[in-house]
Amino acid sequence: MHAVLDAAAAESQVLDANTVAAALPGRTFLEASLALFPALAASDPTVPELIALRAQRGYRALVQHGVSFDAEMVARLQRAAAAGHRVVVRADSERRDVEPLLALAGLDHHVSLLRCSDDAPRGPGDTIRRSWDTIHDRLNAMQIAVTARSAWEMTPYTAAVAADYVATVTEPTTSPASSAPTLVYPEPLVGDDVEAYLDLRRDAAWFEAMNHWSTIQGPKAMEALNGLVTNDVSQLAVGMGMHAVALTPKGKVVCDMYIARTHDDRFMLTVLRHCAPAWLDLARKYINPRLAKVIDESDQWATWMVYGANAVQAVANLGGAMHTVENLGDIMVSGLQEWPVWSHGMWNIGPVSVRLVRAPVMGSLPGFVIMADVRDAEIVRERLEASTRRRASRAVWNIARVEGGRPAFGVDMDENTIPQEANLDTLGAISFTKGCYTGQETVARVHFRGHVNRHLRGLMAEQPMPQHARVADATGKDVGDVRSSVISPRLGPIAMAMIRREVSPGDTVTVVVPAGDITARVVELPFDE
């Protein structure tokens, strides 16, 4: 509880201890954070994610000082191990917290942790049966032969899943009643956030990043990865990177990512933290471990972003000096200003060696992602905090992202989105000349033979537009819905909306809300060009 309270306070969010205590039982840190901040979760899920990450780190510090399992649970695990049974524990974002506890209790060799983050119903219509199927498939993938099954005390939901899995109860015949999504209105920036936003345009600012890092390495790493993403990683020289998308076999988005080639046989990949479970599941399902290994490195890296008109100078002023550029192909660089887009290399910030990535993730705003070993994180953070540049909040980051027309998974696109609908082709994340990859048939068919029926477009209005609101044309026909919505200090109320293709930039549409419809103008993305 104290870890969550401290993490929330670090993000200027005030919580009551009793409220936190009521939200934690049966939930991961991320699930609890999303439940505690529903409005933030709907408009910008990165804020609750950052709070959850901070809480996990605080909890991990407690674990290192010795936290134990409930005595009865330890006894159950020991009896199961003595009987030759292997225990499978459902553990998602709390996995890294459970592992040290198992080790402290001497039980880590008797337990398998089942990563199954998408097995829990998250909305109306999801069923226990789908969860059962997910768990069953993953047990098979782990090559665990299940002959006898038993379910122990769990949260009310997971107990229901386990009970169904062991066939001791019947599946409920009714599903929760469906309801319309809650309209979420954006809030204007206030105080230091306004100044931080202005700093982005006139100078630079820095952000805490919510990135998950993984690597794919091995003798066939390039071939394995190239068969799984939309862009052509075979064209990457060591020291270069690219934007790409991972898809389902039906061509729907799993997540978008940045890929960096660090060695001939090693690639680093980063996705938004809430996309990590789905990405790792996909990679481990389709990449043969004899050809390449998929390694979760999220615990090894701390990440920040420095962006703005003077981002190059801001990074240089951190006390940095280049010591290697890891062979940027045939490109010779004399300083940060000459680094090509998506290039990366090693840089010294004082005594600390960090990896810099020149990533265009905020439209026309230049900037760098800074990766540091977690053991050096405090040194880098102190340098950032001591610099003349202001730290910007996630709200500022979100406005800059929307202005730059960069879609975020879970808000602007989801598992039902074809990549061209989210403009990922125009953002350079898709190669139409490479060989086969998972989901290619759908993407190629749209590109060469047809079109998508909807696109992400920009909306500009005089009033704030709520996320999830319906968008109607002049005849009153539904033509889409509002996705990311913000109030830009520079542009006023703007939003990204998924709009049918017959609606063109320049058209006027209506954002339908109970308090009174809002007139909006459709524009091309990004807003900042």
Quote the pLDDT of residue 73. 61
Position 18 scores a pLDDT of 77
Q: Which residue has the higher pLDDT, 273 or 117?
A: 273
pLDDT the model gives residue 427 = 95
Q: Are 299 and 56 in contact (CB under 8 A)?
A: no
Rounded to the nearest 5 degrees, what angle is found at the Cα of 335, between the Cα atoms of 211 and 298? 15
Neighbouring residues of 151: CB distance < 8 A, sequence distance ≥ 6: 159, 162, 163, 165, 166, 168
Pairwise pLDDT comparison (461 vs 137), residue with the higher score: 461
Bridge partners, 296 (sequence order): 214
Q: Specify the pLDDT at position 131.
A: 47
pLDDT of residue 511: 98
- Confidence class of residue 14 from pLDDT cuts 50, 70 and 90? confident
Give the CA count within 13 Å in the CB-facing half-sphere of 254: 24
What is the domain range of residue 23?
2-64
Nearest to 468 by CA among 510, 502, 497: 497
More reliable by pLDDT, 417 or 76? 417
Q: What confidence category does residue 42 fall into, taking pLDDT thresholds of 50, 70 and 90? A: confident
Among residues 18, 43, 64, which one ends one of the domains?
Answer: 64
Residue-level pLDDT at 33: 81
Q: Stretch 5-18: mean pLDDT, rounded?
A: 75
DSSP 227: T
In a domain, 175, yes or no: no
Query: Contact at 8 Å (CB) between 352 and 379?
Result: yes
The answer to whether residue 158 scores a pLDDT higher than 60 is no
Going through 7-86 in order, the beta strands assigned E by DSSP cover: none
CA distance 138 to 125: 22
Buried b / exposed e over 249-263, threshold 16 CB at 10 Å, is eebbbbbbbbbbbbe
Look at residue 430 and tell me if it is in a domain: no
For residues 140 and 309, the model is more confident at 309
pLDDT confidence band for 160 (50 / 70 / 90): very low
Burial of 188 (0-12, 13-18, 19+ CB in 10 A): middle
What's the average model confidence in pLDDT over 143-150? 47
Q: DSSP code of 448? A: H
Name the domain count of the chain. 2
More confident residue, 376 or 38: 376
Reported as a single tens digit per residue, the pLDDT across 282-322 is 999 999 999 999 999 988 999 999 999 999 889 888 875 55
Dump pLDDT digits (tens) for 475-494.
999 999 999 999 999 999 99
pLDDT above 70 covers what percent of the chain? Answer: 71
Query: What is the reported pLDDT for 6?
Result: 75
Of the three residues 323, 355, 388, the one that is the final residue of a domain is 388
Mark whether 208 and 357 lie in a shared domain: yes
Q: Are residues 233 and 382 in the same domain?
A: yes
**Is 359 a member of any domain?**
yes
DSSP secondary structure code for residue 203 in this structure: S
Q: Name the residue type at position 402.
A: V
Residue 138: per-residue pLDDT = 53
| Each residue's pLDDT tens digit, 415-442 | 999 999 999 999 999 999 998 999 999 9
pLDDT at 38: 80
The answer on pLDDT for 74 being more than 70 is no
Which residue is associated with the tokens 């999801």? 126
Residue 243 and residue 227 in contact, taking contact as beta carbons nearer than 8 Å: no
Q: Write down the mean pLDDT value for the chain.
A: 79
Task: List Cα–Cα distances, 114 to 100, 117, 281, in angstroms.
Answer: 16, 9, 11
Q: Establish if 287 belongs to a structural domain.
A: yes
Q: Would you say residue 276 lies in a domain?
A: yes
Specify the CATH number for the domain of residue 224: 3.30.1360.120
Determine, yes or no, domain membership for 137.
no
Residue with the larger pLDDT of the pair 528 and 163: 528
pLDDT band at 347 (very low <50, low <70, confident <90, very high): confident
Supply the pTM of this predicted model.
0.67
Of the pLDDT bands very low, low, confident and very high (cuts 50, 70, 90), residue 23 is: confident
Pairing assessment for the beta strands 253-263 and 293-296 based on DSSP bridges:
unpaired
User: Is residue 495 assigned to a domain?
Assistant: no
Counting beta carbons within 10 angstroms of the beta carbon of residue 519, is it exposed (0 to 12), middle (13 to 18) or buried (19 or more)?
Answer: exposed
Of the three residues 361, 388, 415, the one that is the final residue of a domain is 388
Residue 146, domain member (yes or no): no
In the prediction, which pLDDT does 55 show?
Answer: 74
Return d(Cα 233, Cα 222) in angstroms, integer: 7
Phi, psi of 457, deg, nearest 5:
-125, 165
